[in-house]
A and B are shown apart, each in its own frame.
Chain A
Amino acid sequence: MFELSATPLEAIDLKSSFADVRAGGYVTFEGWVRNHNEGREVLRLEYEAYGQLCLAEASRIITEAKEHFDIIQTACVHRTGMLEIGDMAVWVGVSAEHRGPAFDACRYVIDNVKVRLPIWKKEYYTDGDSDWVNCEQCAAHGHAHGA
């Protein structure tokens, strides 16, 4: 399951759907908005997503995670819109019989979500400037796509 959410992830009950008598462990990752990036002081962030393609690509990532790792369930929710420092930007959950595959699958999902989903992040800095992350440097130097 993957969802985009325009409202705070903190308000959503993300855990209860993972309850399963077969599960011996449950691993989560929360990505938070931090107050600095690449040496600049960040005031807030804005996420924009291409919804249809996000859902299709995220579905592939989740299917891959289930194929590669011995897990019971995995899900991811990503924010859109304006976020403040400390807000949760992304959430990944994994349940499994044993902790090893749960940790591994959680890492796989977040790593792939970051580089494969068509989601963009605009950082607003304390000096009044703002930048689309990974885009401005590409435009300036002709760097290739990717993380």
Chain B
Amino acid sequence: MATVVASRSPDILIARGIGSCLVVSAYSKQLGAGGMLHAMLPKNPGTDPAHAKYVDSGIDALFSTLRTMGMPARGLEVKMAGAANMFPSLSLEKKVEIGNRNIDTAREKFKKLGIMLSGEDVGGTHGRTITLNLANGRLEVRASI
């Protein structure tokens, strides 16, 4: 959790058992390389140096990591998955649903950066295991059986 990981083909990046956290993947077809952000909370209050803990600063951290690997943000295949509402009755009680806020924050951020998503599987009330295959850029999402 709260991490950015990046690598090249033939590696596979896996985030297992994702609940309300949001996973953002970015992939370069040309280089056969990419990365994954696993963020927990929507917005960085601005003081936390743990950038990858938050969706907004985490997306910046993901793109900056990939840029240093020779992958500018434009031209990358960007997808997102996760951000479920695992305890619906709790969200009702607290009147806050973090999964949903993670999704909204990511959309805002992508809009600001001028990035179009190539795919997404977000929300719902189930957990996910999310796999990015760097050999072909496939993002696979598996739910609990």
A binds B: no
